[in-house]
Amino acid sequence: MSALLQVEGLSKRYWRGDRDFSALDGISFSIAPGETLALVGPSGSGKSTVARILLRLVEPDAGSIRFNGEELLGLRGAALRATRTKLQMVFQDPLAAFNPRATVARLIDDPLRIHGIVGRADRPKAIAALLERVGLAAELASRRVHEISGGQRQRVAIARALATRPALIVLDEALSALDVLVRGDILNLLAELQRDEGVAYLFISHDLGAVRAVAHRIAIMDSGRIVEEGDAAAVIAAPASATGRALVAATPELPVFPRLPVFKETVS
């Protein structure tokens, strides 16, 4: 099966005072359609830098990113905007990422309007359908972001990401601010959406319990490099890298979350 996302040799350096440091040092990975790859590692390992580069919020110093067969880093203007409909992101804290005084309807309306997905007359119905798709009542549309719970906000963020019918959603520590019961609910939702919509995920997290439930494969990062990659359950059960062993040792009692269906590649 052809990769949906193919990252090759991605590098990024930053300056801190009069010294520079490597945030990413030639990393490579791929994600197939409908697959979940978890990117894990200690703080400062480069995970969020990967997410920002994929969304073209930061430009890399070197490397290639092919998405849906196109070189993402070569896209500009209208071509980049069109590609962004298929590549969406869910942030760690929607309250910080969005205007907290905006209504839920406004948040979901924006991608529908900006990308011309649904006409003005049909947008209220589309917003209601998206809210219901993520397990929220349509009546929530009139509420402001700061008036709803953290779990509801994250579901709204997922509904907004789904509005453009993406092929890949990047989830950057999207569950870390939620309590364990809400995390289980969101993991169930992600599994359901993947099963029904065929969406792929890049799941960035330090929560190995959630990773074990949601990921088909795992890539462990340290100091801007991928130091281990493989089947998620196998890597967590017996990590081969020192970083992997340290991460597992720091989480001695992994919570039990529902497991995503096994990903199977099909011959195209």
Residue type at position 13: R
Residue 104 CA to residue 63 CA, distance in Å, equals 37
pLDDT tens figures, 15-66:
877 788 889 999 999 999 999 999 999 888 999 999 999 999 999 999 999 9
| pLDDT score of 268 | 39
| pLDDT score of 255 | 56
Residue 219 CA to residue 226 CA, distance in Å, equals 6
Give the model's confidence band at 261: pLDDT under 50 very low, under 70 low, under 90 confident, else very high. low
Residue 156 lies in a domain: yes
Does residue 95 carry a pLDDT above 80? no
Residue 98 lies in a domain: yes
Residue 248 CA to residue 245 CA, distance in Å, equals 5
pLDDT tens figures, 116-136:
888 889 999 999 999 999 999
| pLDDT score of 116 | 87
Number of domains making up the chain:
1
Does residue 251 carry a pLDDT above 90? no
Residue 118 lies in a domain: yes
| pLDDT score of 254 | 59
Residue 158 lies in a domain: yes
Does residue 176 carry a pLDDT above 80? no
Residue 198 lies in a domain: no
The candidate with the shortest Cα–Cα distance to 54, out of 63, 44, 45, 41, is 63
Residues 6+ apart with CB under 8 A from 111: 85, 117, 160, 163, 164
Residue 231 lies in a domain: no
As a whole number, the mean pLDDT across the chain is 88
Of residues 266 and 210, more confidently modeled: 210
Question: What is the pLDDT averaged over residues 187-194?
Answer: 90
Structural domain for 109, as ranges: 91-165
* Bridge partners, 25 (sequence order): 11
pLDDT tens figures, 197-225:
899 999 998 888 888 888 999 999 999 99
Q: pTM for the full model?
A: 0.89
Residue 142 lies in a domain: yes
Whether 183 contacts 227, CB under 8 Å: no
Residue 149 buriedness (CB in 10 A; 0-12 / 13-18 / 19+)? exposed
Residue 95 lies in a domain: yes
Q: Where are the alpha helices (DSSP H) in 36-149?
A: 47-54, 77-84, 94-97, 104-114, 123-133
Residue 264 CA to residue 134 CA, distance in Å, equals 25
